[in-house]
Structure 1
Amino acid sequence: MTRTRKLPDEDGEEEEPKRQRLAVARSQQPKPEISRPFHHSRPIQYTDPQTTTPLSGRYISKRERALFGSAPSVPDPYPVPSSFTSLGSISDSNLPHDILSMLRHEGKGHLHVSQMPEKLSVSLHSHTKAVNAIQWSPSHAHLLASAGMDHMVCIWNVWSRDKKKASVLNFHNAAVKDVKWSQQGFSVLSCGYDCKSRLVDVEKGMETQVFNEDQVVGVIKFHPDNSNLFLSGGSKGHIRLWDIRSGKVVYNYNRSLGPILDVEFTRDGKQFISSSDVSGSNVSENSIIVWDVSRQVPLSNQVYVEAYTCPCVRRHPFDPIFVAQSNGNYIAIFSSIPPFKLNKYKRYESHGVSGFSIKCNFSSDGKKLASGSNDGSIYFYDYRSSEVVRKIKAYDQVCIDVAFHPIIPNVIASCYWDGTLSVFE
Structure 2
Amino acid sequence: MGHTKAVNCVDWSPSHGHLLASAGMDHTVRVWNVWNRGDTTARVLKHHTAAVKDVKWSHHRPFLLSGGFDCSSRLVDAEEGKEIRVFKEDQPVEVVKFNPSNSNLFLSGGSKGSLRLWDIRTGLATKEFNRSLGTILDLEFSADGKQFISSTDTTRSNVSENTIIVWDTLREVPLSNQVYTEAFTCPCVRYHPYEASFVAQSNGNYIAIFSARPPFKLNRYRRFEGHGVWGFPIKCSFSLSGRELASGSSDGCIYFYDYKSSRFLRKIEAFKEACTCVAYHPVLPNVIAACGWTGEISVFE
Structure 1 length normalisation: TM-score?
0.70
Aligned partner of 1:357 among 233, 249, 253: 233
Gap regions ≥5 residues in structure 1: 1-123
1:299 counterpart = 2:175: yes
1:289 counterpart = 2:188: no
Aligned partner of 2:122 among 246, 258, 273: 246
- Percent identical among aligned pairs is 67
User: What does 1:211-222 correspond to in 2, within 5 Å?
Assistant: 211-222=87-98
Higher strand proportion: 2
Q: Distance in 1 between matches of 2:194 and 2:231?
A: 30
Corresponding residue for residue 147 of structure 1: 23
Corresponding residue for residue 64 of structure 1: none
SS in structure 2 of the partner of residue 227 of structure 1:
strand
Corresponding residue for residue 214 of structure 2: 338
1:407 is matched by which residue type in structure 2? V
The alpha-carbon deviation at position 316 of structure 1 amounts to: 0.6
Q: Distance in 2 between matches of 1:224 and 1:375?
A: 33
Query: RMSD of aligned C-alpha atoms?
Result: 0.7
Aligned partner of 2:262 among 386, 389, 403: 386
User: What does 1:13-412 correspond to in 2, within 5 Å?
Assistant: 124-125=1-2, 127-412=3-288
Gap regions ≥5 residues in structure 2: none
Q: Deviations over 1:357-410 (max 9, x none)?
A: 000010111111000000000000000010111111122210000000111111
Q: Distance in 1 between matches of 2:288 and 2:95?
A: 21
Q: Distance in 2 between matches of 1:216 and 1:288?
A: 20
| Contact 2:270/2:290, CA 8 A, preserved across alignment | no
SS in structure 2 of the partner of residue 285 of structure 1:
helix
Larger radius of gyration: 1
The alpha-carbon deviation at position 282 of structure 1 amounts to: 2.0
The alpha-carbon deviation at position 310 of structure 1 amounts to: 0.3
Q: Distance in 2 between matches of 1:345 and 1:205?
A: 48
Q: Distance in 2 between matches of 1:311 and 1:161?
A: 35
Higher helix proportion: 1
2:118 is matched by which residue type in structure 1? W
Q: Distance in 2 between matches of 1:185 and 1:268?
A: 19
1:256 is matched by which residue type in structure 2? S
Q: Distance in 2 between matches of 1:250 and 1:394?
A: 41
SS in structure 2 of the partner of residue 249 of structure 1:
strand
| Contact 2:9/2:53, CA 8 A, preserved across alignment | yes
1:312 is matched by which residue type in structure 2? C
The alpha-carbon deviation at position 281 of structure 1 amounts to: 2.2
Q: Distance in 1 between matches of 2:134 and 2:271?
A: 32
Q: Deviations over 1:181-213 (max 9, x none)?
A: 001121100010000000000111100000000
Q: Distance in 2 between matches of 1:209 and 1:268?
A: 26
Q: Distance in 1 between matches of 2:270 and 2:10?
A: 16
1:163 is matched by which residue type in structure 2? D
Q: Deviations over 1:122-165 (max 9, x none)?
A: xx13x110000100000101000000000010000000123211
The alpha-carbon deviation at position 275 of structure 1 amounts to: 0.4
SS in structure 2 of the partner of residue 317 of structure 1:
coil
1:251 is matched by which residue type in structure 2? K
Q: Distance in 1 between matches of 2:159 and 2:208?
A: 19
2:72 is matched by which residue type in structure 1? K
2:52 is matched by which residue type in structure 1? V
2:230 is matched by which residue type in structure 1? S
Q: Distance in 2 between matches of 1:331 and 1:181?
A: 26
Aligned residues: 301
1:159 is matched by which residue type in structure 2? W
Q: Distance in 1 between matches of 2:51 and 2:253?
A: 24
Q: Distance in 2 between matches of 1:163 and 1:353?
A: 33
SS in structure 1 of the partner of residue 180 of structure 2:
coil
Q: Distance in 1 between matches of 2:194 and 2:142?
A: 10
Q: Distance in 1 between matches of 2:261 and 2:226?
A: 14
SS in structure 1 of the partner of residue 162 of structure 2:
coil
Q: Distance in 2 between matches of 1:295 and 1:131?
A: 35
